[in-house]
Amino acid sequence: MQPKLKAQLQSISQKVSKAEKLAGKQIRHALKSTQSFRTQQMKNIQDLVKHARTLKNTKLAKQADQMRKDFETKAVEGLDLLLTKIHIPTRKELERLSKKVAALQKQLDDSKKTKRS
């Protein structure tokens, strides 16, 4: 081979070798960046899932609390209905009647005082 051709081949070979090394370095860097990105995305997904579970639990807790309140309301309404049907006064009715009796007693006492005078 001619020395000039041999020198050109050697130069090309060196450039290809440098290009391969540079490409290898860039590929390793890209892989490292991709792995780092993937790790961060997995962490973000895990955080979102955790947050979603918290929201779900909160929502379930609110639903359970609402169901409890509804149950208590219905239980009170049912008890009031039962007491009405068996003609037993409720606490409110007893308090109202007690106030009326007290007012009537006061009127009676006042009436007795005015008759004596």
The set of residues, in sequence order, having a beta carbon less than 8 Å from that of 1 and lying 6+ positions away, is 9
d(CA 46, CA 55): 14
Residues in the chain, how many?
117
Residues 16-57 pLDDT 10s: 888 888 888 888 888 788 888 888 888 888 888 888 888 778
Residues 82-114 pLDDT 10s: 777 787 777 888 899 999 999 999 888 888 888
List, as one string, the DSSP characters of 94-106.
Answer: HHHHHHHHHHHHH
